[in-house]
A and B are shown apart, each in its own frame.
Chain A
């Protein structure tokens, strides 16, 4: 019977090719626009570390007081050196790391090679296990390397390729800013998007992965300056990088790992205690105003998903909605034109259910055709998204099986939904009236 309905549907669609093409085009465009926007939105709003994001937290300390807060009372989104180092010293979370962005120059060995600039972060050893950073060779440095300010680095596979031709370079030496550092680990490919451990710099989406990581205190000692944002509420009293460390300027990102609600509560209490202690010592003249957000909430609060992406997604869904309303109208016209035929079928004994199946089959066929067109257009859309979006975001949009399946599903489900009302109207056709009027 279904095959018969398919045949009937096909015949009916062929009878008015203009309307059919119009419906297929509308569904195709609507689906493609919304799926393309969805692919971008999905890419930028995804959880960069889903298995662990609920255990990662970003603490904020109000070291500037009421005059430095946002209108909504939010304290600065980074830390000054004093607080970052104090929190690292207290070491109250399971794992934690202060970090700042660096851009040292690498002087390759061998004559005639130009120095090259690399980007990276100065971090503590717990950074690597905390974020499950994958290693290709070697491992992270140790906690004692942190305290001893060891001359060690972890490099990524791209820099390893550039400097050492991709071989296991653990134990070899890299020259950064004129000083030799021993490679202790080489990362496997790792470039999380957004770069969630330091979204204050680069706004979250950064095309090039960090090339080099070195111990925080080693970088401080070597005078490798901060390459990221520096935010000050007053001009530092002393100049130079050391002056920055003594200033209340904020330039350090901080992340902690806390396993359960009890640990989170304990850390909150600790932060408030710390701020109260600062208040008692006279450094802060205001009560504690700290924040401790888990990673998803932190990314949300920093507006990591560009609002342009949300606007495009909404507009694209609006387009899909208009396409569906359009399809409801056209299907209604199409189905009611065949009132006579429906009357005959009903008079010959077809139950309402049969009319339902027949017309929903026809709607489904339009949906499948629209979906296939939508697939092609989605492919074209995702491929050309770099044309309208900034490269760092466009590169993240991917065409994969789940997106294609979703496109087809949305097309068919949407069209069948759009067909429900016209079908209901069709099934309500009075056979007697139709037969009489003919």
Chain B
């Protein structure tokens, strides 16, 4: 194929402004689309983060106490509530907790290897619960054992109990003991006494999902204690397969039958994991959708702009095209001419665009602590825009190729 680059360049020199504008538009589009797609992908990957929870069957009750009572009374009520929940025909298991995975924010402690260490080794999301939590959330125990009932203590309002035993997530175990020897070892989590790792569970997401939490992703610990806080408690409940809706209906009734001195908000007092996930990733999903829409509009406008400007050029050059056809150029030559012309302009545009994309990303890193743009996105963006340019130019180029040689002889 004969690429007529030199005559194209000569012709483009006569359309400096139009050429520069298309190239600039392609450059800006590439820069924005690369960064927008990058943000979109980062957010979408947040959405599918595994929680470790059997999400199809688990729901959470936010139970607030209506009256202030001493801790032993609250503890008795919590135990009675749990018993009532576990006895429901639609319920497989239930556990008390200070928080739940994907809650959006919650309790976390710094972790150190020695009690007087100043810089923490890492940070762990903290769950206080009993021996039913593993079965209730559906966590997979990969090493060691579950808590024994006699290890579960009570913990009053604003009290912090540091139990001698702890179950950690695999991510936390790996962070503390990278050689895989975590089981049986101990650590300190802001207390004066150590906790010994008696069990390791596969995946257990933290309560928080924000940027700060992401640097400690998946690092969680479970301590055996019932949080008998005078303000309230979370009951995590796992329904039997296929009975989630029934369990969510029966659970509050069972609790109110135990005692009316509680508040379960009718609005968001009971949430299944679909709702929890939806809520916690609200802004991530929103930004991803927004970026998607803006990318689509950008690409559409740029494509339309190329169609518009190329059509104009074709219209302007009908006579020259006619002359070329009369002198023996085939339709294919004319088609190739416009495709090549667009390819040259687009190449210039994407080169500038890559530079702009990296500049914008560099600036965003300093401003918004975003991650570094991976070159795969730049490469994908370049290919996308080159294809978009060729696609957009096709219709006007085909029209140009259909110009009859007779045009050459016609007076304008």
Given contacts A223-B68, A235-B190, contact A22 B308 (CB under 8 A): yes
A261 in the interface, Cβ–Cβ < 8 Å?
no
Q: Specify which chain B residues have a CB less than 8 angstroms from the CB of A29 in the assembled complex.
A: 297, 301
Q: Which residue of A lies closest to B289 (CB)?
A: A388
Mask, A1-31, CB within 8 Å of B = 1, is 0000000000000000011001001100110
Question: Which residue of chain A has its CB nearest to the CB of B299?
Answer: A322
Please tell me if B220 contacts chain A, counting CB pairs below 8 Å: no
Given A225-B157, A243-B159, A388-B289, answer yes or no on A178-B67 (Cβ-Cβ < 8 Å): yes
Contact B68 A177 (CB under 8 A): yes
Say yes or no: is A268 at the interface (Cβ < 8 Å to chain B).
Answer: no
Q: Report the stretch among B19-27, B45-53, B89-97, B382-390 that lies at the interface.
A: B19-27
Complex-state Cα separation, A318 to B156, whole angstroms: 54
Question: Residue-by-residue, is B134-168 near A (CB-CB < 8 Å gives 1, otherwise 0)?
Answer: 00000000000000000000001111101000000
The interface bits of chain B over 249-270 (1 if a CB of A lies within 8 angstroms of the residue's CB, else 0) are 0000000000011010100000
Give min CB distance, A327 to chain B, whole Å. Answer: 9
Chain B positions within 8 Å of A328 at CB level:
21
> A114 — which chain B residues lie within 8 A by C-beta?
260, 263
B375 at the interface (CB under 8 A from A): no
Interchain CA distance A70-B36 in the complex, whole Å: 30
A322 in contact with B302 (CB, 8 Å): yes
The reply to whether A388 and B287 contact each other, CB–CB distance below 8 Å, is yes
Query: Is there contact, CB below 8 Å, between B17 and A322?
Result: no
Which has the most chain B C-beta neighbours within 10 Å: A332, A388, A421?
A388
Stretch touching chain A among B4-12, B235-243, B309-317, B325-333: B309-317
Indicate if the CB atoms of A316 and B283 lie closer than 8 Å.
Answer: no
Q: Which segment of A50-58, A303-311, A346-354 sits at the interface?
A: A303-311
B174 at the interface (CB under 8 A from A): no
Q: Which of A184-207 contact B (CB under 8 A)?
A: none
User: Is B184 in contact with chain A by the CB < 8 A criterion?
Assistant: no
**Which of B282, B290, B305 is in CB contact (< 8 Å) with A312?**
B290
Whose C-beta in chain A lies nearest to the C-beta of B297?
A29
B305 with A330: CB separation less than 8 A: yes
Interchain CB contact under 8 A, A312 and B28? no
Q: CB-CB < 8 A to B367: which residues of A?
A: 307, 310
A326 adjacent to chain B (CB < 8 Å): yes
Q: A225-B157, A311-B364, A326-B305 are in contact. List 5 more A-B contacts (CB 8 A).
A: A26-B304, A115-B261, A178-B68, A235-B191, A316-B294
Shortest beta-carbon contacts, A-B, top 7? A239-B159, A115-B66, A333-B312, A388-B286, A329-B21, A326-B305, A318-B32
Give 8 CB contacts A-B under 8 Å.
Answer: A67-B118, A105-B65, A235-B191, A315-B291, A319-B297, A328-B21, A333-B312, A337-B316
A-side interface residues toward B, CB under 8 Å?
Answer: 18-19, 22, 25-26, 29-30, 33, 67, 103, 105, 107, 114-117, 177-178, 223, 225-227, 230, 232-236, 239-241, 243-244, 306-308, 310-312, 315-316, 318-319, 321-323, 325-326, 328-330, 332-334, 337, 387-391, 421, 425, 438
